[in-house]
Amino acid sequence: MQSHRIRAASRAVILAGVAAAALFAASSANAQSAPANAREQAAFDVRFLQTEFMVAALSCGRPEYQSFYNTFVSRFGAPLKRHADELKAHFTREYGKQGANKLDSFATKLANEASLRSMRQVTFCQDTGLVMERVTALDPASLASFSTSFARSIETVAIVEPVKR
């Protein structure tokens, strides 16, 4: 049982690595869109995690994932809104009147990359389910730090094990 948990945790870390690579690709497409500080980075990381859950809810065909996503959005509504406002402010500052369009484009790229991973990666749904289990135990104040740790674990794996396309 312990080796199963280790393998499952390893898959979750790999999933996180692939996802972070997509996030950094999307945000580095234009150097201006890169986060300027830790608060903005947390907002990017939270949006990334939320997108992973949304795609799993829509593409994994598991009603419990849809239920989790609805509960996640309700339970973490205040921090999700705060981070969404931070992203909006970032994109408005960086792009002015085009900020809303650039934010929409960024969110679409995140969702498209997650959707592609869900189709290409056999363990996407299982791995995302493991992350959902961990988030279930969080209090809302811990969402940003968890999201940042999740994104960092992805970044590390992405460097060690490049994504094959």
- What pLDDT sits at residue 154? 62
Q: Parse the chain into domains and list their residue ranges.
A: 2-160
Confidence of residue 73 (pLDDT cuts 50, 70, 90): very high
* Residue-wise pLDDT tens digits, 114-140: 999 899 989 999 999 999 999 999 999
Q: Which of 10-14, 63-67, 159-163 has the lowest mean pLDDT?
A: 159-163
Distance CA 73, CA 69 (A): 6
The mean per-residue pLDDT over the stretch 70-93 comes to 96
